[in-house]
Every structure is written in C-alpha cells, then in structure tokens.
Amino acid sequence: MESLLRFIHALTIFSEESWIRLQPALSTQEFKKNEFLLKEGAVCQSLFFIEKGYCRSFHEIDGIEKNTAFYLENDIATNIRSFGSGEKSAASIIACEPLTAIVFDKVLLFEAARQTPEIEALGRNCIRLFAAKQDEFATLFNIYSAKDRLAYIEEKHPQLLQRVSQTQLASFLGVARETLSRIRKRRVP
C-alpha cells in the first residue's frame, strides 16, 4: 500500500482525506504464475497497480500469442480501450510470476471521483500516464527497426531485459525468436 501511495503522490496532489475516500475502490489481489488478470472477451473493469511481480498483455492471433506490453512493479496495468469504452477486451493480461496487485474497481472509483475532485484528478492523470506510455511504444514500432527497438529497450527499460525471457521479448519486439538471437549476435563484434 505504501508503494501505491508513493506512486500517487508522485503523480498528483492527494490529501489524507482523499486517500481515505479512495479506499472503498481498492482491494489487494494475489495472482499465481500464468493466472489471468484479464481474459480476452471480458470487459476490463479494473486498473491494476502492480505491487510485486510482473505481467504481460498479449493478443492471440492464429493460435500464437503476440505480446503488446509488460507491466512491472509500480506500473498500472489495464486494457485502456475496454476500460474506457466498456467494450470487450481484444487482449489478455496474464501474470508471468506470482503477482500482487492493488485493484482499482472502475465503478467504485468513478463513484469516489464524483465526490472528490482529487480522486477525479488522479483518475485523469492515470489515464494520461497510460496514454503517454502507449504513445512511447507505439512510436517505437512506427519508426524503428527491430534492431533499433531492442537498442531502445536496452537503454530506456533495462529492467525488462533482466526479467523477460528472449522468447517473450522477441514476441514483444515483433520478430521471431531466432531473429532476435541473430540480432544480438550480429551486433556484438
């Protein structure tokens, strides 16, 4: 819980009273490895603040899982399209390790936000932060090659490489596992 409070204070102004009023919308949930936080076809009703462990978001295309994001400690995980619109999610989110998350319930969060402007601002800032991250990675795919994408991840998100397998990373970078292996080999002269 302290990690969430630190996260919130880094993001926006938040009083003790707002914190108390936020509590009804929060619950702590544990997930085993390979347990789903969100399943494809379900409507995303939650924001997951990752306290311990990590998870990944993926789309299943022709029986193959294509990773679209990793969420590590102190990240917010969700499917923004489904959460925002109430449509079914096209992606799944699954725990890659035993995972502890603080879950924001959408309905209760919106209720609390109506009463408390600081909670309203928190919600808005969470979406903004999520959108900015999404923009970062969307741009990455738009303008860089797989080789350059790897270099970018190595520079800006080295924690990812410490925890994610080559297979999972290759799927995220949008190349075959073998190709990632060769990209690595090619550059280390």
Judged by CB under 8 A, does residue 134 bind a second copy?
yes
**Six-digit token pair at 157?**
């998100």
Pick one of 15, 23, 74, 85: the residue that binds a second copy (CB under 8 A).
Answer: 85
Judged by CB under 8 A, does residue 142 bind a second copy?
yes
Judged by CB under 8 A, does residue 115 bind a second copy?
no
Instruction: Assign 3-class secondary structure to 59-117.
Output: EEECCEEEEEEEECCCCEECCHHHHHHCCECCCEEEECCCEEEEEEEHHHHHHHHHHCH
Smallest gap from residue 99 Cβ to DNA (A): 16
Name which of 115 and 159 has its Cβ closer to DNA.
159
Judged by CB under 8 A, does residue 146 bind a second copy?
no
Per CB under 8 A, the segment of 23-31, 123-131, 161-169, 181-189 that binds a second copy is: 123-131
